[in-house]
């Protein structure tokens, strides 16, 4: 089982990779058969090919990502609040999701779920 320290490190690596637009580093955090549901309620992306395509689309925009508080890591899951800011056609948008990662025994992410809705999205 992954340690809380390992899960914390994965979250920090994830945030750094999003800020650096490092697609390979993001995908490397996931297990081969991982599932990404972003946002919760959307059609899940399954496997590394779909996950890579999802993040490639997100990284077309210059993202500014910051943790908002501490990572909660217990058993084989980690939850964390953060902000993602970006500009589209001169308009800045910020989304404040809570992501939950579930890890396998090797410490790779097997499931990511992003919890946010309209109340968590703001302009400016």
Residues labelled as active-site residues: 14, 38
Nearest to 9 by CA among 31, 37, 23, 29: 29
């Amino acid at each position: 089982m992954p340690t809380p320290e390992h899960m914390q490190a994965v979250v920090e690596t994830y945030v750094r990779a999003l800020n650096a637009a490092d697609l390979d580093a993001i995908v490397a955090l996931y297990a081969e058969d991982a599932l990404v549901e972003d946002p919760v309620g959307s059609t899940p992306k399954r496997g590394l090919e779909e996950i890579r395509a999802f993040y490639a689309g997100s990284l077309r925009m210059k993202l500014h990502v910051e943790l908002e508080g501490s990572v909660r890591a217990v058993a084989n899951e980690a939850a964390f609040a953060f902000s993602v800011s970006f500009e589209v056609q001169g308009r800045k948008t910020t989304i404040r999701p809570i992501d939950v990662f579930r890890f396998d025994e090797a410490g790779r992410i097997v499931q990511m779920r992003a919890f946010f809705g309209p109340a968590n999205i703001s302009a400016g």
